[in-house]
Amino acid sequence: MNFCSNCGKPVHLLIPAGDHKQRFVCSACNTVHYENPRMIVGCLPRWRDKVLLCKRANEPISGFWTLPAGFLENDETAEAGAMRETREEANADVELVRMISLYSIPIIGQVYVFFLADLKNLNFHPGVETEITALFGRDEIPWDQLAFSSVRYTLQKYFANEGDSSAPVFVGSYVPNSESTEEKNWAKG
């Protein structure tokens, strides 16, 4: 960031009074510009004992498999965003069951929220950002071709709990150079 979105004057990186992190601060109007994590929302759509995955048609990581997900829009709930992304990427109609995972990647400022969802029908097909849509059972998942750690984490937790709709929300994070993914199980309610 070079200029203030409030007044157009130059900004500088400094630690504002009472803060603990460097922020972009306007040299003219003193507006503090906070850069916050981006939220990605998506679904783990299921049909009986299978889950719907999308093979990515675009970068990053084109040709790899993912759950339907994308950036939450302003003026949109997490639930509505997850359903929208599922329609956009897989043309799939779903009914949300519950939140299944919350996964943070602090190094790139992203927080993922996935919802377990039931497919309403099998009329799904690839959207513009998707090359292929397909249903996979636990033993059919292309584990070595998954696009993102958040997707791997969510699928592993789902199958480890045998698709139990009452399992807790799983909370994890990816921290580079650590030995494993930090994780916590938070019970519902």
d(CA 68, CA 56): 9
**How high is the pLDDT of residue 162?**
81
Closest to 67 in 3D by CA, of 178, 172, 158: 158
pLDDT average per 10 residues of sequence, the chain (189 residues)? 95 94 95 94 98 97 98 98 99 98 95 98 98 98 97 96 84 78 46
CATH T-level fold of 1-35: Ubiquitin Ligase Nedd4; Chain: W; (2.20.70)
Which of these CATH numbers, 3.40.50.720, 3.60.15.10, 3.90.79.10, 3.90.110.10, describes 38-186?
3.90.79.10
Helix (H) or strand (E) holding 59: none
Show Cβ contacts of residue 104 under 8 Å, excluding neighbours closer than 6 positions. Answer: 37, 110, 111, 112, 172, 173, 174
Closest to 162 in 3D by CA, of 131, 186, 137: 137
Can you name the residues that pair with 26 across neighbouring β-strands? 11
**How high is the pLDDT of residue 166?**
83
d(CA 96, CA 82): 9
**How high is the pLDDT of residue 165?**
77
